[in-house]
Amino acid sequence: MEAIKTRSWNTLTGLSERERALCTLAEKLSATPTRMTADDWQPLRDLGFDDTACLEVAHIVGIFNHLTRLADGLGLQLDAGTQKASETGEVLGTPEQAAGQAA
């Protein structure tokens, strides 16, 4: 996660070709969407992504950007449980699981 925040994800070892292609595309689509060309999509197409899969990637990137901008713009803060999970890597449970742990 820190590598994404600092935009150093491309120096990480261990990313698959697919993960690297998705991150490259997501970074450009997020930062400079008006500069996207067919060539930017080609690495995904070379990996077997068809038009539907490329559209799904675009939707996921766009929705993530929309939601984070909305949250940032409204000054929303993470609740304590989500903040803790973010810092520790603990998996969040459902509200029902959390209620069961509290009992």
Closest CA to 3 of 48, 53, 19: 19
Q: Whole domain around residue 64: which residue ranges?
A: 2-102
39-50 b/e (C-beta count within 10 Å ≥ 16 → b):
eebebbeeeebe
Confidence of residue 98 (pLDDT cuts 50, 70, 90): low
What pLDDT, on the 0 to 100 scale, is given for residue 29?
97
Closest CA to 44 of 27, 61, 20, 80: 20
Residue 99 has pLDDT above 80, yes or no: no
Phi, psi of 94 (to 5 degrees): -75, 160
Confidence of residue 93 (pLDDT cuts 50, 70, 90): confident
CA distance 15 to 21: 10
The model carries a pTM of: 0.73
Q: Phi/psi zone of residue 14: left (φ > 0), alpha (ψ -120 to 50 degrees), beta? A: left
pLDDT, tens digit (0-9, with 9 covering 90-100), for 28-49: 999 999 999 999 999 999 999 9
The CATH number for 18's domain is 1.20.1290.10
Number of compact structural domains in the chain = 1
